[in-house]
Chains A and B, each alone.
Chain A
């Protein structure tokens, strides 16, 4: 995938992610609602690729205002990933040369890889994840399951043990997917389904587009990596 195509696809997916976040803030009150009224049309402009330098700049500034308003990210990791991708895209427009553009977007890909690898590593070293107990507690005790019928999955201990390892192993081996484009595409499709499952089971709907928006950059980066090697 070329640099230009990856950047354009990322802008479209990120615009969708930010538009979704803005629509959800419209029902709120106060500063976040006012910022959402500004960010929703900016997100559409980002999708359309209109004045990307200015549009991204305004979205970065309003993202920081939201972070200040909530004393941190409102929606945890999904806000973090959207801001990282947004910053990467904006810096790629500000960059004085192709090398700096690639560094800006390469940093986003690095964080994407780390987001899976580090999450897998901390689970691997935790005996509660290795025994399946962690997912049991997620379903049985936490506020994440979206309904009682999904909370009832806590009773399926063997299924949860299997699910724990189905999370740990793919997260850990994700960096290896960069060896070929085919393995990377397979890994990204699996990761995409993983985020969809999290949205269905735990209501983490904002994470899907936040992460998927970085996938075109991963495909470009993989090709660039092979060229460099």
Chain B
């Protein structure tokens, strides 16, 4: 049994490492579906969220100094890029790992005060919207779609990253 687990671990590690040793550099080969996150707070598990709050909306503009600081050190933005890739994996049918990662990072952001929880809110849930354009000829823009493609269950605000 232990040998089987060890073999599975090794095989999983090889699967993760091989694309790094022999990478495919197809940056922006096509522009796919782009995720956006919204969070909501509810008083009890099973309650329907009354309002969705966009998570980390874009600032109107950045000053030169803000650009410089972000150039040197930008943990929040890189975390957001990671959450986007988790969402893209979820779109492709990825497992619970990605959902749990998103929930953990959102809960950490809420605990850090980035999003104010509603007074009565004891649980957080999130949804992911997919922004994309409908198929159209290469020189025309298709109609832009904004569809909710995923809605999570509830996560207790007192327990960072724990699923209820």
Interface residues of A (CB under 8 A from B): 20, 23-25, 27-29, 64, 67-68, 70-77, 79-80, 83-84, 87, 111, 114-116, 118-119, 122-123, 126-128, 130-131, 133-134, 136-138, 140-143, 145-149, 151, 196, 199-200, 203-206, 208
B20 proximal to A (CB < 8 A): yes
Quick one: given A64-B17, A75-B82, A80-B23, are A128 and B58 in contact (CB under 8 Å)? no
User: What is the CB-to-nearest-CB distance from B134 to chain A, in angstroms, rounded to a whole number?
Assistant: 12
Question: What is the bound-complex CA distance between A200 and B34, given in angstroms?
Answer: 20
Question: What is the bound-complex CA distance between A116 and B59, given in angstroms?
Answer: 31
Encoded as 1 (CB less than 8 Å from any A CB) or 0, chain B from 60 to 98 comes to: 111000010011111101111110110000000000011
Quick one: given A128-B30, A143-B80, are A76 and B85 in contact (CB under 8 Å)? yes
User: What is the CB-to-nearest-CB distance from B16 to chain A, in angstroms, rounded to a whole number?
Assistant: 5
User: What is the CB-to-nearest-CB distance from A137 to chain B, in angstroms, rounded to a whole number?
Assistant: 4
Interface residues of B (CB under 8 A from A): 12-13, 16-17, 19-21, 23-31, 34-36, 58-62, 67, 70-75, 77-82, 84-85, 97-98, 101, 108, 131-133, 138-141, 144, 160
Residue in contact with B139 in the complex, picked from A115, A131, A147, A149, CB distance below 8 Å = A131
Asked whether A141 lies within 8 Å of B60 as measured between CB atoms, the reply is no
Number of A-B contacts (CB under 8 A): 147
In the bound complex, residues from chain B placing their C-beta under 8 Å from that of A77 are 23, 25, 27
Known A-B contacts: A122-B26, A200-B67, A208-B71. Give 7 more (CB < 8 A): A76-B81, A111-B25, A134-B28, A141-B133, A143-B81, A146-B58, A205-B78
Asked whether B23 lies within 8 Å of A111 as measured between CB atoms, the reply is yes
Some 14 contacts from A to B, beta carbons below 8 A apart, are A68-B13, A74-B78, A84-B20, A111-B23, A134-B31, A137-B31, A137-B133, A140-B144, A141-B131, A143-B34, A143-B36, A145-B58, A147-B60, A205-B73
Quick one: given A24-B78, A151-B58, A203-B81, are A133 and B70 in contact (CB under 8 Å)? no
User: What is the CB-to-nearest-CB distance from A129 to chain B, in angstroms, rounded to a whole number?
Assistant: 8
Quick one: given A64-B13, A147-B62, are A115 and B71 in contact (CB under 8 Å)? no
In the bound complex, residues from chain A placing their C-beta under 8 Å from that of B21 are 84, 87
Asked whether A141 lies within 8 Å of B16 as measured between CB atoms, the reply is no
Asked whether A20 lies within 8 Å of B73 as measured between CB atoms, the reply is yes
Asked whether B132 lies within 8 Å of A141 as measured between CB atoms, the reply is yes
The chain A residue sitting closest to B23, CB to CB, is A80
